Amino acid sequence: MLSVGQWPNKPFAWLLLFLGCSGLLGAALYFQMVLNLEPCVKCVYQRMAVIGIGLSAIVGLFGSGLWLTRWAALIGWLYSSYQGLLIAYDHWDLQTSKNAFFAVCESAPNFPDWAPMHEWMPGLFAAPGLCGDIDWQWLGLGMPGWMTVIFAGLLLIGIIVTICHIISSFTKKDGLVLYHK
């Protein structure tokens, strides 16, 4: 019997999360390198949030048997999803604002002095694009709209998994059952 509450104990679940994040980063690089869509500062911050979720998934993948690393991975997943959702929604709101004067953002990413990612890896973290530009749409949503949906989904799944894991941990039951043999 497979339950949502037991997912954090399973390396395969963390591998799926990592592969999903890898797919998102691959898509971002495809848009940037192949379609020549330049990322803006908020795009780079969303990229960092996806990387945060991916790194949390790696922690969970290799430490799913230990409660401390499992909880660190869950917290990292929730925090990165939440921050990504805030940034993506703000970016979406900025692009859909009626006043183009407010559709601007910083000229360079604001990384810490001890980790200037945009200087170390400019191909991945430089932000030559403008936040207000809508260069791509699918089904009526631009990139920030889709990232808002994706981060909201990741956050919702993370919350459900965490709550079920807490219930499962305290009740010693399987939690919310999704599959019966």
Active site residues: 40, 43, 47, 105, 131
Contact between 170 and 100 (Cβ < 8 Å): no
Instruction: Scan for tokens 């790696």, then name that residue.
Output: 58
Largest separation between any pair of C-alpha atoms in the chain: 58
Any idea how long the chain is?
181
Vertex 81: Cα angle to 78 and 85 (nearest 5): 135
Instruction: Scan for tokens 């219930």, then name that residue.
Output: 167
Name the DSSP class of 5: G
